[in-house]
Chain A
Amino acid sequence: MLISIDKNDARPLYLQIVIQIKEQIRRRALKQGDELPSVRELADTLDINMHTVRSAYIKLREQGIINLALGRRATIARMKQPENKRATEAEITARLEELTTDALLMGLKTDEVKKILNQQTERLAKSEGY
C-alpha cells in the first residue's frame, strides 16, 4: 500500500488518504485482510495530524471499506456486492449531481463536464497496480 500526501492538492488531506486507499482496492493492490498502518505511524510518516488519519479511517469504516476496532490494526474489509443496486445508483447520482452543479457553477460547459467524466472513467479502467 502506498499513501502519499500532496500538500499542493486542493483536496482535504483525509480525503487524499481515503481516495488512495479506495483506488488501491479497486486496482487490487490491496485485498481483503490486508493490514493498514496504525494511525500514529501514518501520521508521523506523512507529517500530518493524527486526527486527519483517524478521520480518513473512520470515513472508510463508515463506508464498509475497512475494519476498525479499538486496539487492533485496521484491515481491508470484505467487499460486499451492492445489496440494493437502485440505492447505490441513487447515491452515486446524488454525488454526481453535487459535482456537476459545482462544475457548472465554476463555469464549465456540459460537454466539458462529460469529457472530464469520460476521461476519468477511462483512466481508472486502464490503470493497474500502482
Chain B
Amino acid sequence: MKFRLSNPLWTHLPVFAILVTLVVYTIISIPLPAEVAIHFDFHGQPDNYGSPWIMFGLILGILVIFMIVSIIIDEVWVRNERKKSFNWFCLMDELFGGFMAGIYIGHIQYIKAGDVNFTFPWGMIGIVAGSAIVLAIILELMRPFQPKPTAIPFSDTKVMEKELEQRIKGNTKFIYWSSQNPFWVSLLSIVLPFIMVTGAIILGFTLWWAGLILGISGASMIMMYGGLRVSVTKEAITVSFGMLGSKVLTLKTSEITSMELKEFSPIADFGGYGIRFNGKVTAYYLRGSRGIEFTLLNGKKYLIGSDRPEEFYAVVQAMVKGK
C-alpha cells in the first residue's frame, strides 16, 4: 500500500524557510573564528568556548527534528479532522524553530561584533519567530479540508455471538484477552527514559534537584512499557496498563446497562491517545479509532478501544446472555 500524506507539505514552508535562512546567513557570515563563546551565564558572561560549527550543527539538527515531529503531529491532526478546524499544533515548529533561529542569528551577530557580553536577542527572536508564525497561520487557514473516506461499517456480530454463547455457556470458565501495544509506546517507554535518565545524571552534577526530577520522570515512563491490556471474564471487564499490569479500570458485568460499538476520533474527541476523559466519556485506547462504549448503572460512560471491536462486542454480549 502506498503511503500518502493527507496534510500538504507546503504548510511546513515557514520552518523550511527558517532553515534555508540559517544556512544562507551562516554562509554569508563566513569566515567565522575557530573558537567562540558558545555558552553564557545569566549575566551574559561567556562560560564555555567551542567551534561555531557545533552551534550550526546543533541548530540544524534541532530544526530538522522539529520539522519531522511537526509533520507527524499535523498528519495525525488532519487524519482525525471531522470538520475544518484550526490546528494550533502546526505553529509548534515555527515557534520553537523561530526561537532557536533567533538565538542563533543573535549569536552570529555577537561573534561578528566581537562584544564581550552576550545580550539575549529577544528582538531577533521576535522578528524570526513572529514572521514564521504569521506565515504559518496564513498557510494553515489556506489548508484545504479533506473529508475522511466513509468509515467501514461494523460487521454483524450475531453469528459470532451465537457461537461464543454455546462455547462459554454454563459453568465453563473463560477469559477473553486483547492488548494494544503499539510501537510508539515501546519507543516512549525505552528510548525516552534512557535519554531522560542520562540527562538527569549529567544534570545531577550541577543541579541535583533538577536531575532528580528528570530522573524520576524518566524512570516512571518505563512503567508504560507493555501497553494496554483488556480482559473479559464472567465477572468483569478489566483494563490494565503498563509494565506492572496495573488495573486502571474494572467494569463489573452486573453494572453494565448498555454497550455500543463506537467509531471515534482520537484527536477530535479525546485529544490524543492513552487514558482520556472528554467531560462525558472516559476512554482507554492506544491505537485505532474503534471500540465499545459501556454505560453503567450510575450513568458513567467508558470507552474501551479495540483492534477487533466486533469480536470484543460479541464476547461481552455472549457472556451477558450466557449468564
Contacts and interface: CB of A to CB of B under 8 A. Distances in A.
Nearest to B181: A35
A6 B229 contact: no
Interface in A1-52: 1-7, 29, 34-38, 41-42, 45-48
A73 interface: yes
Given A29-B311, A35-B229, A129-B311, A45 B173 contact: yes
Interface in B255-274: none
B231 A45 contact: yes
B177 A36 contact: yes
B10 interface: no
Most chain-A Cβ atoms within 10 A of its Cβ — which of B163, B164, B177, B181? B177
A37 B163 CA distance: 23
Given A2-B174, A3-B175, A38 B181 contact: no
Contact of A35 (B172, B173, B179): B179
B282 interface: no
Contacts of A37: 175, 177, 229, 231
Nearest to A48: B173
A4 B319 CA distance: 12
Main secondary structure, interface of A, reads loop
Contacts of A3: 174-175, 177
Interface in A34-81: 34-38, 41-42, 45-48, 73
B164 A2 contact: yes
Contacts of B173: 4-5, 45-48
A41 B179 contact: no
Nearest to B234: A45
Contacts of A47: 173
A1 B160 CA distance: 14
19 contacts: A1-B176, A1-B178, A2-B168, A2-B176, A3-B174, A5-B172, A7-B172, A34-B179, A35-B179, A36-B177, A37-B229, A38-B245, A45-B173, A45-B174, A46-B174, A73-B226, A130-B163, A130-B311, A130-B314
Interface of A: 1-7, 29, 34-38, 41-42, 45-48, 73, 129-130
